[in-house]
Structure 1
């Protein structure tokens, strides 16, 4: 039997079980650190959301409609509404049913769209944590209303995991 210096276990859904394992020397919290939207329905684990993605309004095609630049960072897995980013702010927006979130543009509908202007930011929460790190080179760390630091994503560190 080999002596192991390091035994890693865990993941967001099994932190509690892994912590009880005598052989485990470290636990990986995983995506739970970011609190993506897929965790919103979990009963045993409720992380604080910690990542929002801001996408600018680039067009106002009509009343009750605004088009975002990008926004379609769809989570991996079986396609479905639960794989879409969640519109976090402003309240009162929904995806256009015929398009949802798109790679090039994302039309959003609803009364709140009338208050948006070209250049306004719509904030989305990713469904899963990895897709954001695939697209963005850094995460900006915010305290209150100030950016206090930046942390590189694996893409920002020059890594490519596909």
Structure 2
């Protein structure tokens, strides 16, 4: 197990809970901010995550960890959310796609140089076992950097709906969830129980689950998806009855595992296994 740290205050908290003399030495990974900063810091493109941005700041934190008993720096993580987690070819939004691709090109070039400098600076303080970067949306770009030893691309195994908007790859949807029809308020409309499994990120329609089967259903803009019910409208609704299931694709990979204890695996129409989620293993992170 390796703990993520971006501040000495986190080390203080660990020591306050269990002092170094009462525990084994803990493996530490430095979490370095990958966002693009411009105009003297007034422009910030990326997530608000770690306060550690420059090679100098990363090396200073590494020295602070190294001087304190009970801690060992073994890795660096630099996750570029503005590249890995943003669609570069969003459906029906060609202008936004052009802007995003331009931004990602600039951010990628800046980060490649800075990430290499961060790794070099920290390596003068500690022997690094790994340098983590990227995600499903940036596998090819991030893996090409000599400083990176591993790319975290787990979400792509599910191929949630947001990954339909990337040019670098085309995946096949692998995970769905179902909600039963519980009301039929009109001939062309059904209401299913629940369905409000909203993805993280900037609020918007692209964060909502996508009704997938039967084809031809859409949620109502005035209601969206909800924790109690989700009305769906379309020609397919005329062929659905109480108790029938509507299958959804989730927008991102995380929300499915936040809601269920198990994932059921199928081959064709045969149930072949069950896999516990971290929630099913009794672990939640919220």
Q: Give me the TM-score of the superposition, normalised by structure 1.
A: 0.93
SS in 2 for 1:18: helix
| Deviation of 1:14 (Å) | 2.0
Higher helix share: 2
Query: Which residue of structure 2 aligns with residue 71 of structure 1?
Result: 195
Asked which structure has the greater RCO (Cα within 8 Å, sep 6+), the reply is 1
Instruction: Select between 103-112 and 17-26 the one with higher mean Cα deviation.
Output: 17-26
Higher strand share: 1
Query: Which residue of structure 1 aligns with residue 285 of structure 2?
Result: 161
SS in 2 for 1:7: strand
| Deviation by residue 1:82-136 (Cα, 9 ceiling, x = unmatched) | 1111111001211122111111100111121111011101000001111111001
SS in 2 for 1:57: strand
Contact 2:137 2:166 in 1 (8 A): no
Query: Which residue of structure 2 aligns with residue 17 of structure 1?
Result: 141
Query: Which residue of structure 1 aligns with residue 160 of structure 2?
Result: 36
Query: Which residue of structure 2 aligns with residue 4 of structure 1?
Result: 128
CA distance in 1: counterparts of 2:187 and 2:272, whole angstroms? 37
CA distance in 2: counterparts of 1:126 and 1:133, whole angstroms? 11
- Does residue 268 of structure 2 align to residue 140 of structure 1? no
Moved over 6 A (4+): none
- Does residue 243 of structure 2 align to residue 108 of structure 1? no
CA distance in 2: counterparts of 1:157 and 1:58, whole angstroms? 31
Q: From 123, 126, 137, give the equivalent of 2:247.
A: 123
| Deviation of 1:23 (Å) | 4.0
Unmatched segments (≥5 aa) in structure 2: 1-123
Query: Which residue of structure 2 aligns with residue 59 of structure 1?
Result: 183
| Deviation of 1:43 (Å) | 1.0
Contact 2:160 2:173 in 1 (8 A): yes
Q: How many residues align?
A: 162
CA distance in 2: counterparts of 1:35 and 1:81, whole angstroms? 18
| Deviation of 1:78 (Å) | 1.7
SS in 1 for 2:232: strand
CA distance in 1: counterparts of 2:206 and 2:285, whole angstroms? 23
Q: Give me the TM-score of the superposition, normalised by structure 2.
A: 0.54
| Deviation of 1:62 (Å) | 2.2
CA distance in 2: counterparts of 1:77 and 1:24, whole angstroms? 26
Instruction: Select between 15-24 and 79-88 the one with higher mean Cα deviation.
Output: 15-24
CA distance in 2: counterparts of 1:17 and 1:42, whole angstroms? 13
Please give the root-mean-square deviation of Cα atoms over the aligned residues, in Å.
1.4
CA distance in 2: counterparts of 1:61 and 1:54, whole angstroms? 20
